[in-house]
Amino acid sequence: MSATRQSLLRDIESIVRDVLDSPAIQLQEDSSPMDFEAWDSVAHVHILVSIENRFAIKFELRETQQWADMRSIVDSIEGKLEAA
C-alpha cells in the first residue's frame, strides 16, 4: 500500500474511531462497515459527512453505495482528490 493510501486509511480510521466512540478500532483495506456493530446507517452518514469535511470533497449517493470496504472508500477519496 502506498504512503498516500496508508495516510488516507489512517485519517478514515481516526474519523471512524471518533464517530463510533471506539479508540481501539484498527482499519485495514479489507475492513468493512459490517465488521463493526456500531456502524449503522446513522453512523454511516456521520462518517460520510466527516470524510467530506476532512478532505473538502463531496460524494454523490451512488458513489457511497459502492462502499463495501475501506479499499473502496480510499479509492473514492483518491479519485475526488485527483480530480480537484
Q: What is the predicted pLDDT for the residue at 43?
A: 96
Q: What is the predicted pLDDT for the residue at 21?
A: 97
Q: What is the predicted pLDDT for the residue at 66?
A: 85
Q: What is the predicted pLDDT for the residue at 2?
A: 85
Instruction: Delineate the domains of the chain, giving CATH numbers in brackets.
Output: 3-83 (1.10.1200.10)
Report the distance separating Cα 81 and Cα 79, nearest Å: 6
* pLDDT tens series, the chain, 84 aa: 788 999 999 999 999 999 999 999 999 999 999 999 999 999 999 999 999 999 999 999 898 888 999 999 999 999 999 987
Q: In the numeric block, which cell numbers belong to residue 52?
A: 467530506
Report the distance separating Cα 68 and Cα 34, nearest Å: 9
pTM recorded for the entire structure: 0.92
